[in-house]
Chain A
């Protein structure tokens, strides 16, 4: 008993000291961990979190920036009420849905087609992959400059070709309320399809070969294999591209600012551009912040909708 006690009392301090050493190490590691994440977190806090909180606060106020913080006039929910009755806000929402709703599925579909083409053993495959990917990494200003030339109503190669094909009155593209948005969508598809194709290619290469072998044995044709194996197995990728694409497209601003300035008329004034106009042209920062939050909620709802939809439609193997 005494021996046991002695043994116990001898062991206990050793365990205790090892536990406290572990605690110290853990504490040290925690401190180190915090130190490692600190630069990122500080950056996130200053450049993302604070502006978010500030924008949320400002959405309940009228503020023109130049008057300083003293000029902030609290107005409660007035800005949100204004948004609900502002025809231009709803118009810009419709245009955003038009742009994202048509542009993103098209980009994804074209990306898939490119990926399927490049997945086969064709000569110059890696060069072609690079070629299709270049628009995605190219500078937006350069892209805009090139496409403005492509869409020039009189001298562009596009309209010259259309005229030579017998279309006497080709679209005015960026100079037409009807065609400006399709013109932007065509450009967005061109710029984004390369990225989608790279993601699809990665997914295609990880598809299980045994399913295709089994299909071959069953005598399935190429289209049948695509419909029954490839497409369903690619649905997680498709879902990922649709969701991220939709979020990205709903925030589109740079290319619209560069190419159309929201015009002609209001034909390309999507929500992000309308928010910019209200903030930086009309100095209605409170209203702009309120619309930005409404837009955030709408995108969140749509994403949730897609998420619920994917539970039924997406196949995970």
Chain B
């Protein structure tokens, strides 16, 4: 079965044409990466790539496949950890002029920072000169541009959905929810699935994002924060209620074990929770039954729809933005590699749970094999997975405003922790989120 995406491209034809030889390239005379320049540059080029994903989890396989087409090009991968320290390491290396030809950026604020600092190459002309990529960028929502120009392309798509313990649902007589189920039903189901030291859900999905979409933290064009919007109050109130009544995972545990982002799989796979909103990037751990043995099948459900919202946004997005360093000495080959990573190389990133942003003719089978692994029928409800991954209703937004976002992230984290620990009430959360974020925005704009 072939995935029916909105856009189908015959990647293989183009890759065959571009990649097999310089002679083949010369036929694409209209292309920006003209054969002559490529031929001139192609003698023993070494590209340096900085990636947040460890080489063995996919990037090295992409590089090896690229080398088959371009044996004259070596690509060295440097792994950086996608946290504050790792990102600063990358930024320092970029500004110190260390050879980095390509690098990954994993958040829109950092994307904005790096582009505005001049660290990324404007790749618009490469895109314009490449019919297939050009068509894809035009047809795809949410590709980040800066002052109307492209400085990066997203290599994977990470929609959010719910991982669910099928055995828990079966025991409670609950059928796997279908598209269109509501946040109230999610709340009720979480209560039903809760018991002694068992919690229905890890947390509710980000209903504010689902309601408001792009740049939901901001209003007035980014000069003011938006936390007084009722959608935020509804979200934090629901989460607080669920923590208080024990239908979501105790926030004291989350804070103590630092589970806000990483490590949640342990809670799900040890059956402490039944419903877990997350995205495919956690699949590496979820499918690893050797390190995480379990006696249940994981099924999947689409995110529940917040009340009164007809066409909700998915809180996930296109991500893993690949950028070319503005100081690269090999811009053409760096673009060539970026293009390969985006297209034919994307299949090698499936094992890291990275579903290609550029689907091309990636088959369902390849996605299932890559993300769910060889024991998929034993560990997963495969049909449910296909439904959530290929849900045609999914709308994902990419933010464009990045003013003070690093600081606002910290403000929200602190206040949300305190609210969910019962130290402050929802009213104070709303007031303080708004006031402190406004201050952060003003500081950033000053």
Contacts and interface: CB of A to CB of B under 8 A. Distances in A.
Interface of A: 64-69, 71, 148, 151-154, 172-177, 261-266, 277, 279-283
Ordered nearest first, which 4 A-B pairs have the shortest CB separation? A175-B252, A66-B117, A175-B255, A153-B252
A148 B254 CA distance: 12
Interface string B386-416: 0000000000000000000011001001110
B392 to A, nearest CB: 38
Contacts of A66: 91, 94-95, 113-114, 117, 119
Interface in B87-141: 88, 91-92, 94-95, 113-114, 117-119
A154 B257 CA distance: 12
Contact of B414 (A151, A152, A172, A263): A263
B290 interface: no
B84 interface: yes
B81 interface: no
B417 interface: yes
Interface string B213-253: 00000000000000000000000000000000000001111
Given A153-B250, A175-B251, A264 B418 contact: yes
B92 A65 contact: yes
Residues of A contacting B: mostly: loop
Nearest to B436: A88
A175 B95 contact: no
A280 B407 CA distance: 11
Contacts of B197: 154
B256 interface: yes
A173 to B, nearest CB: 7
Given A67-B95, A152-B257, A264-B421, A283 B406 contact: yes
A175 B119 CA distance: 39
Nearest to B88: A280
A83 to B, nearest CB: 13
B117 A264 contact: no
A16 B149 CA distance: 80
Contact of A68 (B117, B251, B256, B407): B117
Which of A67, A71, A148, A279 has the most CB atoms of chain B within a 10 A radius of its CB? A67
Given A64-B117, A154-B250, A264 B417 contact: yes
Contacts of A152: 253, 256-257
B168 to A, nearest CB: 20
Interface of B: 84-85, 88, 91-92, 94-95, 113-114, 117-119, 197, 250-253, 255-258, 406-407, 410, 413-415, 417-418, 421, 423
B410 A277 contact: yes
A177 B113 CA distance: 33
9 contacts: A67-B95, A69-B95, A71-B117, A172-B252, A175-B251, A262-B414, A264-B421, A281-B84, A281-B406
A302 B255 CA distance: 34
Contacts of B413: 263
Contacts of B94: 66
B415 A65 contact: no
Nearest to B91: A66
B410 A264 contact: no
A40 B413 CA distance: 43
A177 B250 CA distance: 16
Contacts of B417: 263-265
B258 A176 contact: no
B421 A176 contact: yes
B335 to A, nearest CB: 22
Contacts of A266: 414
A154 B253 contact: yes
Nearest to A82: B443
A260 to B, nearest CB: 8
A268 to B, nearest CB: 11
B5 to A, nearest CB: 35
Given A66-B119, A263-B414, A175 B256 contact: yes
A261 B258 contact: yes
Contacts of B253: 152-154, 175
A262 to B, nearest CB: 8
A266 to B, nearest CB: 6
Contact of A65 (B84, B88, B407, B421): B88
